[in-house]
Structure 1
């Protein structure tokens, strides 16, 4: 789908770009010619990623901040347009705080909802307002998870946030279509840095389950998901909106 997709001249904002899937997306977008605005809370990691992109001949800027907090998304967008008019937004920021519901603290619930769902809303709202003010269309790509479709034990907060992103995106896609803005969701099943937050005694079993239940015989990686992101940020995806693309090596929807 995206092997030949080029993004020369396009400016893309990627949130949660300091590690895992977001970092993989940013590197792939830059290799395809996009100028990438890098957002996350870890500014040092973003500076290092910018240097890596620039060393390979790409363009990037750092727009650090917690987009789950009110007002930060607008600041991040202002930093992003230093690269040029914004063409696409990839919302990937999020955290996980795994715990069964009976043992989950208020902070563990609120922090996950804030980072994933609130952050997605704030960035989308800022981007839509900016595009409508200039008469430009744009691409919004929001990141959910298979967990938001089928649920996972110990991830009620994470699954709720990701399911919320899917519902939010469906509504937003209908609202902004007349403005030439598309909104799609990528729901990956992939092992990333966030998997390291799983307690050590459960991590090996988690990786084994990912391999055993995957038809292709291995867990997904950021490199497996990144080409889908690139396509959705491109001009070629103009007739695709309101869709949730499950990126997994297993037919149908599976736990992950």
Structure 2
């Protein structure tokens, strides 16, 4: 069971929850007492996460769908309502289609923008409308990446989508603060199963660089990032909004 921050009686929606960071967030939030709605495009993998949470004594529902498609975010929120009124949303859905700009296709650009940026926008819009209509506040946590701050060779599309998430989130935080809604961003550098899509030679070099340059001497994992997300979903983070927190084992700067 996770220690520290407790989220008992809170309901949280996590997008991109079938693998990687999203799965890590969902399992950690459930371990802290939250009921978790699991969103993603693979119902079978989401069901695996649901069973893992329920086997650990938690509550979860599967709310599948591509939230980048107009109208799906509203359907996902409706499915999440089976757990009770929603208290927090963690936007994590994203994909990578790595290629240098000169070789990148229009589809590889658009697919990454659709998954990472369009989906974040549409979920945020849907939940802000719902919370305002209900007269209640809430927590929005959007996942960006250090790639969106510093760039990566071969990831111009991914970096652009993550930089967009940061700018969008900081603007949204100013809009919705009067309604009691906080919006924050985590920009992690962590090794997940998304890294497995990188060609082997580059992946090994990436892992080696992570170990050599990380001040703490090891690459980050979803378990390292999840407690930060839990805090941002909690009541204890009520006075923190419009921040982009760089979650790495290396000293650096935050944006916001």
Q: For this structure pair, what is the TM-score category when the shorter chain's length is used for normalisation?
A: over 0.9
Establish whether residue 128 from structure 1 lines up as the match of residue 128 from structure 2.
yes
Residue in 2 aligned with 1:114? 114
Establish whether residue 104 from structure 1 lines up as the match of residue 92 from structure 2.
no
Q: TM-score of the superposition, structure 1-length normalised?
A: 0.97
Q: Deviations over 1:100-151 (max 9, x none)?
A: 0000001100000000000000000000000000001000000000000011
Distance 1:142 1:152 in 2: 20
Establish whether residue 16 from structure 1 lines up as the match of residue 46 from structure 2.
no
Establish whether residue 227 from structure 1 lines up as the match of residue 207 from structure 2.
no
Q: Number of residue pairs matched?
A: 253
Establish whether residue 199 from structure 1 lines up as the match of residue 199 from structure 2.
yes
Give 1:1-256 correspondences, 5 Å limit: 3-252=3-252
Tell me the C-alpha RMSD between the 2 structures.
1.1
1:253 is displaced (CA, Å) by 5.1
1:206 is displaced (CA, Å) by 1.1
Closer/same/farther in 2, CA of residues 3 and 244 from structure 1, 3 Å limit = farther
Q: Where do 4+ consecutive residues of structure 1 move more than 2 Å? A: none
Q: TM-score of the superposition, structure 2-length normalised?
A: 0.97
> Which protein has greater RCO, CA pairs closer than 8 Å, 6+ apart?
1
Q: Structure 1: which 5+ runs fail to align? A: none
1:211 is displaced (CA, Å) by 0.7
1:13 and 1:89 in contact (8 A); partners too: yes
Q: Structure 2: which 5+ runs fail to align? A: none
Distance 1:137 1:202 in 2: 43
Distance 2:86 2:42 in 1: 22
1:3 and 1:227 in contact (8 A); partners too: no
